[in-house]
C-alpha cells in the first residue's frame, strides 16, 4: 500500500471512530432530555404526584453530574477505552431494564443507573477522542464539533420522544440509548484505539465520595424548589447538607497530593469563562425547550407530535451551523466564535421571549425566527467554548477535562433553572436567560482577549 493509501485508510478509520464517539455523546444527552415529553404519560400510568415526577425527571442527571469527577479520575487512571466499555455496559443494561419497569421504584433505579453509566462514558469518550486526534490542530477541530453534540442530543430527545410517544409507548424511548450502547459495545474494540492508563494516579475515594454526595444533595435541593419554598426543610436540608459536603471536599482536596479537581485547573481564566459560557448556553437551550414545549401543548393545545415537529427548524439550523463552527474557529479564533455565539443565542432567546409566548401570533412569525437564530448561536458558543475548555490540557488530565466540561452542561442548567423559576413567569425566565448570556459574552470578550492568541 502506498503512503497516500495508508493515510487515506487512517483518515477513514478516524472518521468512523469520531462518528461512533459522537453517537455515544448524543445518546447521553438524548437520554437526559427524552423523558420530558412522555413524563405526563408516565405519571398517569403509575399514578404519580408532581414531586415524584420531578424526582424521576432529575434522577438521571443527579447521578450523571454527581459521579462525573470520579468518572474522570477513573478514566485518567485506568484508560479511556476500558472505562468507556464499562460505562457502556452499565448504561446499556439500565436502558434494557427501564422499558419493563412495573412501577416508579424500578424506573427510578434504572434512571439512576443510566446516569452512573453516563458519568463513566462522558469523560472516557473525550479521552479516546484525544487519542484519535493526536495533533493539537486535529484535536481542536474535533472539539469544535464535539461541543455542539450535546445540543444536538437534547434536540433529538425532544423531537424523537414526541414521535415515539405518538406512534408507540413512552417505554420505547429507551430503545434509542439501548441500541446505541449495544452497537458501541460491539464496535469499540474494532474502531477505538486503547488509551494509556496513568497508574500512578490515586483514585482519591474520600474526595470522590464527598464530591458526589455534595453535588447530588445540592442539585436535588435546587430541583425541588419547583414544588417547595426555599425556606422549607425539604429544600434547606439537602442544600445545606450538600454545601457542607462540598466545603469538606474543598478542604480535603487542598490537603491531597493528587486532588480529584486541582484548583489551578479551574482558575485558568479562559477555561473558567468557557465553562461559564457552556453552562449558560445549556441553560438557554434547555429552558427554551421546556418553556416552549409547555406553551405549545398547554396554551396552543398542540399534540406531542406537533410539538416535536415545531422544533425541526431548530434541529436543521443546529446541524447546518455546527458544520461551519470548525472552519470559523480556524479563521477567527475560539474566543471570537464563542462571543458571537453567545450574543446570537441571547438575541434568539430575547426574540422568543418577546413574541413566542403569544398564542394569537402564528408560529411562522412568533417562534420560527427565534428557533433558527438560537441554534446558530448555540452551535457557535458550544463549539468555541469546548475548544477553550480543553485547550492545553495535559494528556493525563483528559478525563478530568471531560468530566468538568460535562459538569458545566449538567450543573449550569440545574442551578440557573432554580434561580429563574423563583424570579417569576416563563417569559421573564427566558428574558433573564438571554440577558445572562449577553453578560457572559461581554465578559468573555473583555477578559479572554489578553489570553493566548492561539485561542
**What span, in angstroms and rounded, lies between the C-alpha atoms of 450 and 214?**
35
pLDDT at 101 over 80: yes
Count of residues in the chain? 455
Burial category of 40 from C-beta neighbours within 10 Å (exposed 0-12, middle 13-18, buried 19 and up)? middle
Question: What is the pLDDT averaged over residues 339-352?
Answer: 88
> What does pLDDT average to over the chain?
79
Overall number of domains in the chain: 1
Of 134 and 375, more confident: 375
Identify whether 275 is part of a domain.
yes
Of 196 and 313, more confident: 313
The winner for highest mean pLDDT among 103-117, 124-138, 289-303 is 103-117
- Predicted confidence at residue 89, as pLDDT, reads 95
> Which of 331, 437, 430, 428 has the alpha carbon at shortest distance from 377?
437
**CA 259, 260, 262 angle in degrees (round to 5)?**
60
Residue 96 pLDDT class (50, 70, 90 cuts): very high
Question: What is the pLDDT averaged over residues 234-258?
Answer: 86
Phi, psi of 183 (to 5 degrees): -65, -40
Longest dimension (CA), the chain: 71
Residue 298: DSSP 8-state: I
Identify whether 455 is part of a domain.
no
**What span, in angstroms and rounded, lies between the C-alpha atoms of 416 and 410?**
11
Asked whether 327 and 337 are in contact (CB, 8 A), the reply is no
Of 210 and 453, more confident: 210
Residue range of the domain that includes 419: 9-448
- Predicted confidence at residue 3, as pLDDT, reads 52
pLDDT at 111 over 80: yes
> Which of 266, 417, 415, 279 has the alpha carbon at shortest distance from 345?
279
- Predicted confidence at residue 244, as pLDDT, reads 93
pLDDT at 359 over 50: yes
Residue 99: DSSP 8-state: G
Question: What is the pLDDT averaged over residues 274-302?
Answer: 79
Radius of gyration of the chain (CA): 21
- Predicted confidence at residue 427, as pLDDT, reads 40
Asked whether 51 and 102 are in contact (CB, 8 A), the reply is no
pLDDT at 171 over 80: yes
Residue 423 pLDDT class (50, 70, 90 cuts): low
Question: What is the pLDDT averaged over residues 199-204?
Answer: 70
Can you spell out the DSSP letters for 171-233? GGGGHHHHHHHHHHHHHHHHHS------TTS---HHHHHHHHHHHHHHHHHHHGGGTS-TTSH
User: What's the CATH number where 361 sits?
Assistant: 1.20.1250.20
Residue 115 pLDDT class (50, 70, 90 cuts): very high
Identify whether 320 is part of a domain.
yes
pLDDT at 180 over 70: yes
Of 451 and 315, more confident: 315
**What span, in angstroms and rounded, lies between the C-alpha atoms of 403 and 120?**
9
Question: What is the pLDDT averaged over residues 74-85?
Answer: 89
Asked whether 140 and 329 are in contact (CB, 8 A), the reply is yes
Residue 179 pLDDT class (50, 70, 90 cuts): very high
Question: What is the pLDDT averaged over residues 385-414?
Answer: 79
Identify whether 406 is part of a domain.
yes
Asked whether 317 and 450 are in contact (CB, 8 A), the reply is no
Of 452 and 351, more confident: 351
pTM of the model: 0.81
Identify whether 23 is part of a domain.
yes
Asked whether 116 and 79 are in contact (CB, 8 A), the reply is no
Asked whether 77 and 199 are in contact (CB, 8 A), the reply is yes
Identify whether 454 is part of a domain.
no
Dump pLDDT digits (tens) for 230-243.
Answer: 788 888 898 899 89
- Predicted confidence at residue 437, as pLDDT, reads 41
- Predicted confidence at residue 260, as pLDDT, reads 78
2-16, 72-86, 354-368: lowest mean pLDDT where?
A: 2-16
Identify whether 1 is part of a domain.
no
Residue 432 pLDDT class (50, 70, 90 cuts): very low
Question: What is the pLDDT averaged over residues 358-374?
Answer: 81
pLDDT at 121 over 90: yes
**What span, in angstroms and rounded, lies between the C-alpha atoms of 343 and 384?**
13
Question: What is the pLDDT averaged over residues 406-425?
Answer: 64
Dump pLDDT digits (tens) for 23-56.
Answer: 998 898 888 878 877 877 888 888 877 777 778 8
Identify whether 453 is part of a domain.
no
Question: What is the pLDDT averaged over residues 431-450?
Answer: 39
Percent residues over pLDDT 90 in the chain = 12
- Predicted confidence at residue 9, as pLDDT, reads 55
Amino acid at each position: 500500500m502506498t503512503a497516500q493509501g495508508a493515510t487515506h485508510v487512517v483518515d477513514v478509520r478516524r472518521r468512523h471512530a469520531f462518528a461512533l464517539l459522537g453517537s455515544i455523546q448524543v445518546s447521553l444527552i438524548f437520554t437526559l432530555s427524552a423523558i420530558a415529553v412522555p413524563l405526563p404519560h408516565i405519571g398517569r400510568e403509575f399514578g404519580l404526584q408532581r414531586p415524584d415526577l420531578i424526582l424521576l425527571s432529575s434522577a438521571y442527571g443527579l447521578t450523571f453530574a454527581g459521579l462525573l469527577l470520579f468518572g474522570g479520575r477513573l478514566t485518567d487512571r485506568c484508560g479511556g477505552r476500558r472505562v468507556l466499555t464499562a460505562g457502556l455496559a452499565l448504561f446499556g443494561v439500565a436502558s434494557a431494564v427501564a422499558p419493563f419497569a412495573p412501577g416508579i421504584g424500578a424506573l427510578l433505579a434504572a434512571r439512576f443507573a443510566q446516569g452512573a453509566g453516563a458519568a463513566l462514558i462522558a469523560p472516557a469518550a473525550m479521552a479516546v477522542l484525544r487519542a484519535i486526534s493526536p495533533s493539537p490542530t486535529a484535536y481542536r477541530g474535533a472539539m469544535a464539533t464535539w461541543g455542539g453534540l450535546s445540543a444536538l442530543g437534547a434536540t433529538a430527545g425532544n423531537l424523537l420522544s414526541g414521535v415515539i410517544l405518538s406512534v408507540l409507548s413512552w417505554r420505547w424511548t429507551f430503545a434509542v440509548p439501548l441500541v446505541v450502547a449495544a452497537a458501541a459495545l460491539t464496535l469499540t474494540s474494532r474502531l477505538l484505539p486503547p488509551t494509556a492508563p496513568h497508574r500512578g494516579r490515586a483514585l482519591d475515594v474520600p474526595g470522590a465520595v464527598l464530591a458526589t454526595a455534595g453535588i447530588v444533595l445540592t442539585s436535588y435541593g435546587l430541583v425541588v424548589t419547583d414544588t417547595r419554598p426555599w425556606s422549607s426543610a425539604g429544600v434547606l436540608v439537602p442544600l445545606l447538607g450538600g454545601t457542607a459536603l462540598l466545603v469538606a471536599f474543598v478542604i480535603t482536596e487542598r490537603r491531597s497530593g493528587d486532588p480529584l479537581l486541582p484548583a489551578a485547573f479551574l482558575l485558568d481564566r479562559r477555561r473558567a469563562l468557557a465553562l461559564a459560557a457552556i453552562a449558560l448556553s445549556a441553560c438557554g437551550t434547555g429552558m427554551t425547550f421546556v418553556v416552549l414545549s409547555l406553551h405549545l401543548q398547554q396554551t396552543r393545545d398542540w399534540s406531542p407530535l406537533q410539538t416535536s415537529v415545531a422544533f425541526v427548524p431548530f434541529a436543521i439550523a443546529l446541524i447546518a451551523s455546527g458544520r461551519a463552527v470548525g472552519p470559523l474557529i480556524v479563521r477567527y479564533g475560539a474566543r471570537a466564535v464563542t462571543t458571537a455565539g453567545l450574543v446570537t443565542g441571547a438575541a434568539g432567546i430575547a426574540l422568543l421571549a418577546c413574541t413566542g409566548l403569544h398564542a394569537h401570533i402564528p408560529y411562522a412569525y412568533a417562534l420560527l425566527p427565534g428557533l433558527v437564530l438560537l441554534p446558530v448561536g448555540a452551535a457557535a458558543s458550544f463549539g468555541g467554548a469546548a475548544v477553550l475548555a480543553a485547550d492545553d490540557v495535559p494528556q493525563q488530565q483528559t478525563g478530568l477535562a471531560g468530566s468538568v466540561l460535562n459538569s458545566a452542561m449538567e450543573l449550569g442548567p440545574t442551578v440557573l433553572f432554580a434561580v429563574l423559576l423563583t424570579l417569576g413567569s416563563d417569559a421573564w425566565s427566558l428574558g433573564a436567560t438571554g440577558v445572562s448570556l449577553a453578560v457572559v459574552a461581554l465578559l468573555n470578550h473583555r477578559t479572554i482577549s489578553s489570553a493566548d492568541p492561539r485561542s
